[in-house]
């Protein structure tokens, strides 16, 4: 056994910490995370939080307020739950089991949702919407549970000088997978009728999530040395100190709140499309394809520049796109072709925003506090949590124009925090 460990590149360092990260372990984990990313990308379109799930709710009879509530749960509420999960997970030196538990719960929720929709003809419509909210909540919250462990394991599993390459490779490969699956999703939406089409989508998503989880079994987790275990109240008390101590964390929280609002805005572009053009399955499929094409283009460009791009400049680029999306939606609300094309820009924004924010979170934290910082970033994501529900009410009362302009102004206010952010370029580590 010990010889096998040596072959894999392990180095025994202490009783407190089992293994030290080496080049061989980093390569092994790099491949495992990429495997997960490939099949996760295939799954993501079948359960896309910006297009498929919102359009499914709308088809089931949901209105602007219900869409706002569901978006709050999917994008904001799941982040808020990270603070609870991080308080529990941060005390664990090994987090692989927590990661697998979270993913398996997501698989279970999607599988049940698929079966529910296929059998929904025999279910009362109000009860159907209630079950949709329940299962999407399980899906979202278990995702946040897994995310805390994912970020922590990722940060200590890949060498610092390989992280940008990983994020770019993962995003590029994922974008290709997402694009191919988008074609299949579009075909299934048009070939089958509601609710069977959505039911089939979620069953396929559950399958791909399962296959993606197999990659995590191959991860060699570096055990984290826990200096002192904290109770949950102690953990909560520690959060304000961490935020005040680390100006980068403070600026990061402002960024994910204000700029992150553009991320949670995208489902409302779907609702706006329904108002202006109707919401045929062809339109949903086209919107999905444009979004994925944007993600693919951005992923390829960033992969080519993975050794040179800076997270801060990527945030500035994301800021311009985030401000533009609501404004362009209003300007071209009468032209379906151009409106669909705007979703290409939304795809570029999603890729740039995700790579930048994920990379920055890993860089401003270390192995000991990364789970805590992930929890803080999730719980601190307050505005994207609350605003979708508020936006649903604002749209219903004051209209789309007022709400969309307000979103652009809030997104623009993140400029100062981006400007104050200090990013560091990791130096190569030689083994």
Burial class (CB in 10 A: 0-12, 13-18, 19+), 3: exposed
The 10 Å CB-count burial string (b at 16+, else e) for 355-364 is: bbbbbbbbbb
Residue of 346, 324, 342 lying closest to 334 (CA atoms): 342
* In-domain check, residue 9: no
Give pLDDT, residue 18: 54
**Residue 224, pLDDT score:** 63
Asked whether residue 224 is domain-assigned, the answer is: no
Our count of domains for the chain comes to 1
What pLDDT does 207 receive?
93
The predicted pLDDT at position 9 comes to 39
3-state secondary structure of 19: strand
Alpha-carbon distance of 182 to 285, in angstroms, equals 7
Residues with Cβ within 8 Å of 233's Cβ and at least 6 positions away in sequence, in order, are: none
Instruction: Write the CATH number for 183.
Output: 1.20.1250.20
CA–CA dist 217, 274 (Å, integer) = 42
What local confidence, expressed as pLDDT, does residue 319 receive? 92
What does the pLDDT read at residue 1?
Answer: 34
Q: 56-109 pLDDT, tens per residue?
A: 887 777 777 787 777 777 766 666 666 666 666 666 667 677 788 888 888 999
Domain-located, residue 111: yes
16 lies in a domain? no
Q: Examine residue 14 and state whether it is found in any structural domain, yes or no.
A: no
DSSP sequence for 217-233: GG--PPPP--SS---HH
- Would residue 326 count as lying in a domain? yes
Q: Residue 6 falls within a domain, yes or no? A: no
Q: Which residues in the chain land under pLDDT 50?
A: 1-17, 425-431
Residue 7 lies in a domain: no
Containing domain of residue 72, as a range? 24-218+230-420
Neighbours of 164 (CB within 10 A): 24
């Amino acid at each position: 056994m010990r010889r096998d460990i040596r072959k894999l590149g392990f180095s025994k360092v202490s009783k407190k910490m089992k293994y030290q990260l080496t080049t061989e372990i980093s390569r092994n984990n790099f491949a495992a995370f990429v495997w997960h990313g490939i099949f996760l990308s295939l799954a993501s379109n079948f359960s896309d939080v910006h297009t498929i799930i919102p359009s499914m709710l709308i088809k089931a009879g949901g209105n602007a307020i219900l869409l706002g509530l569901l978006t709050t749960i999917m994008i904001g509420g799941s982040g808020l739950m990270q603070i609870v999960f991080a308080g529990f997970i941060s005390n664990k030196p090994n987090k692989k089991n927590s990661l697998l538990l979270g993913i398996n719960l997501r698989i279970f929720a999607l599988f049940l949702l698929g079966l529910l929709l296929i059998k929904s003809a025999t279910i009362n419509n109000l009860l159907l919407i209630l079950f949709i909210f329940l299962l999407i909540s399980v899906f979202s919250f278990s995702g946040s549970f897994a995310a805390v462990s994912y970020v922590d394991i990722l940060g200590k599993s890949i060498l610092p000088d390989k992280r940008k390459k990983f994020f770019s490779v993962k995003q590029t490969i994922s974008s290709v997978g997402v694009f191919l699956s988008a074609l299949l999703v579009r075909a299934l939406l048009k070939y089958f009728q509601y609710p069977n089409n959505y039911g089939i989508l979620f069953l396929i998503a559950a399958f791909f999530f399962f296959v993606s989880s197999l990659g995590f079994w191959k991860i060699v987790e570096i055990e984290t040395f826990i200096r002192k275990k904290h109770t949950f109240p102690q953990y909560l008390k520690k959060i304000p100190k961490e935020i005040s101590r680390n100006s980068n964390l403070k600026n990061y929280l402002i960024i994910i709140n204000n700029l992150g609002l553009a991320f949670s805005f995208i489902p409302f572009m779907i609702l706006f499309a329904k108002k202006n053009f109707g919401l045929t399955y062809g339109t949903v499929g086209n919107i999905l394809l444009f979004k994925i094409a944007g993600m693919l283009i951005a992923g390829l460009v960033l992969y080519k520049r993975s050794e040179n791009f800076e997270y801060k400049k990527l945030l500035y680029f994301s800021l311009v796109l985030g401000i533009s999306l609501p404004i362009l939606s209003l300007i071209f609300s009468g032209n379906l072709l151009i409106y669909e094309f705007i979703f290409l820009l939304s795809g570029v924004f999603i890729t740039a925003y995700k790579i930048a924010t994920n990379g920055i979170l890993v860089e401003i934290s270390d192995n000991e506090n990364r789970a805590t910082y992930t929890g803080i970033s999730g719980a601190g994501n307050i505005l994207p949590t609350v605003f979708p529900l508020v936006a649903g009410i604002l749209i219903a009362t004051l209209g789309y124009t007022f709400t969309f302009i307000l979103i652009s102004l809030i997104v623009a206010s993140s400029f100062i925090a981006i400007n104050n952010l200090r990013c560091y370029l990791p130096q190569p580590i030689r083994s």
